[in-house]
A and B are shown apart, each in its own frame.
Chain A
Amino acid sequence: MKFLDLRFFILFMWALVMVACLSIIFIVAPISKQQQQITQIYSITIIQTSIIQAILAVVIVVALIYILNKFKKIYLYKKLLGKEKG
C-alpha cells in the first residue's frame, strides 16, 4: 500500500481511533472506576466527575482532529505534487 493510496488515509484514521480508545481507557475510565472514592474524599458530585470526563474526552478528540488535519495537509500536498509530476 502506497502513501498516496486512499486506503492509507483510512488506515491512518483507524490508527487514530485506536489511539483515542486507548487514551479513553487510560485517562477517562479510571475516573469512572474511582468515582465512589473521589466522591467520598473530595465530596464532589457525579455531575462534576462527568464534567471532568467530558473535558478530558473533548481534549482527546480535539487533539486527534488536529493531528488528522495536519496529516490531511501533508497527504493532499504530496498527492497534488505527485499529480503535477505525473
Chain B
Amino acid sequence: MNDVHKPNKPMVPRPGGPILLLSIIAGELILFFITGIYEIIGIVITTTIAFVIGIIDDFKIMPGWFKPAALILASIPLIAFHVYENQLNVIFGNVFIPLLYIPLILIAIPLVGNTINSIDVFNGAASGFLIITMVPLLLSSLLFGNFTIFLIELPFFASLLGFYKYHRHPSKIFPGDSGTLVMGAMYGSFAIASQSEIIAIIALLPAIMNSFLFLSSVRKIVEHRQIKSRPTILKDDYRLEASKEKNAPITLVRLILLDGPLSEKQIVNRIYKLGFFSSCLSFITIILQYFILNIK
C-alpha cells in the first residue's frame, strides 16, 4: 500500500503480520519443546486467533464492531489452558476473584488488541512503542510473576526488535491489522499470565488515552477508515497539522499537533517519549509494589 505521508507516496509491503507471527511461533515452540510449559500453547493459540481476525480485516474492510467482538474468541484459549491466577494483583495487594477473573480476560484481550491497533498510525509507532512498554512488563514478570513467564516473553520481545528494524521510519513494511492484533493479543496475554495487569495498563497509558479520546469524541465503535473528518491534515511540505474541524475525532496525534505542525518522524518520536514516560511511571509502581510486598 502507499505510504501517504512521504513524497511520491512510495509503495510499502503490507501486512507484516504473517512474518511477525511466524517468528514468534518459532521462538515459542522451541521454548515449549525445551521446557514443556503448557501455558505457551494457550498464548500461541490466542495470538494465532488474533492474527486470523487481523488478516481478515487486512483484506476485507469489516465493520467497527468486528475486531472487538471477534477478539473475545481469541481470549478463550487463555481460559482453557488456565494461563492465569485466580487473583488480581492491584499493587497494594491481591484480590481473590476466581469467577470474576474470567470475564476480565474476555474484556482484556479485545481492549489491548484494539488499543495497540489504534496507535499504529505512523512508521514504527506501534512496534517502537510496544518495545518501550515491554521493558516494565519484563521486569514485573521477573519480580512478581514467575521465571517461566519471563522466559515466554523473551521470544516476543526479540521478534518485536527484529520487526522494528523494518517497521521504523522510513518503513520497509507495515504490520497491518494482523500485525498489530498479534502484538496486542500477546502483550495482553503476558500481562495476565505474569499477574502484571496494572503495570501493563500504566505502561500503555498513552495508547489507552488515544482510544479514550477517540471513543469519547466519536461516541461509537467505528472503523477508523470510515471516519469522514480526519484528525490531522497533511501539508504540502509533508508535515502534519491538527485539523480545525469540529467534527474531527480527538486523538493523541491531534493533541500532539496542537503545539504546531510536525513531520511524521517528529510525531513518532513524541509518541516514543510518552511511552518512555508511562514506562517510568510503571517502574515507580513496580518499586512501590516491591516495597509493599516486603513490608507485608
Q: Which of A5-39 contact B (CB under 8 A)?
A: 6-7, 9-11, 13-14, 17-18, 20-22, 24-25, 28-29, 32-33, 35
Number of interface residues of B (CB under 8 A): 33
B100 cross-chain contacts in A, Cβ below 8 A: 50, 53-54, 57
Instruction: Select from chain A the residue with minimum beta-carbon distance to B288.
Output: A18
Knowing A17-B198, A50-B100, the reply to whether A7 touches B274 (Cβ < 8 A) is yes
**A28:B95 contact, CB within 8 angstroms:** yes
**B274:A18 contact, CB within 8 angstroms:** no
**B209:A13 contact, CB within 8 angstroms:** yes
Choose from A14, A32, A68 the contact partner of B97 (Cβ within 8 Å).
A32
B136 touches A (CB below 8 Å): no
Task: Render B254-285 as a binary contact track against A, CB cut-off 8 A, 1 for contact.
Answer: 01101000000000000000100110010001
A46 touches B (CB below 8 Å): yes
**B209:A21 contact, CB within 8 angstroms:** no
**A17:B202 contact, CB within 8 angstroms:** yes
If over half of A's interface residues share one DSSP class (helix, strand or loop), that class is named, otherwise mixed; here it is: helix
Choose from B92, B250, B255 the contact partner of A21 (Cβ within 8 Å).
B92
**B95:A25 contact, CB within 8 angstroms:** yes
A24 cross-chain contacts in B, Cβ below 8 A: 88, 90, 95
B32 touches A (CB below 8 Å): no
A76 touches B (CB below 8 Å): yes
If over half of B's interface residues share one DSSP class (helix, strand or loop), that class is named, otherwise mixed; here it is: helix
**A22:B92 contact, CB within 8 angstroms:** yes
Task: Render B65-92 as a binary contact track against A, CB cut-off 8 A, 1 for contact.
Answer: 0000000000000000000000010111
Task: Render B192-216 as a binary contact track against A, CB cut-off 8 A, 1 for contact.
Answer: 0000001001100110110011001
B64 touches A (CB below 8 Å): no
**A10:B206 contact, CB within 8 angstroms:** yes
Knowing A10-B277, A14-B202, A17-B202, the reply to whether A32 touches B96 (Cβ < 8 A) is yes
**B274:A6 contact, CB within 8 angstroms:** yes
B285 cross-chain contacts in A, Cβ below 8 A: 14, 18
- Show 16 A/B contacts (Cβ-Cβ < 8 Å), sorted by A: A6-B206, A6-B252, A7-B277, A9-B209, A10-B206, A10-B274, A10-B281, A14-B202, A17-B198, A17-B205, A20-B90, A21-B198, A33-B96, A54-B100, A69-B216, A79-B258
The chain A residues found within 8 Å of chain B, CB to CB, are 6-7, 9-11, 13-14, 17-18, 20-22, 24-25, 28-29, 32-33, 35, 46-47, 50, 53-54, 57, 68-69, 72, 76, 79-80, 83
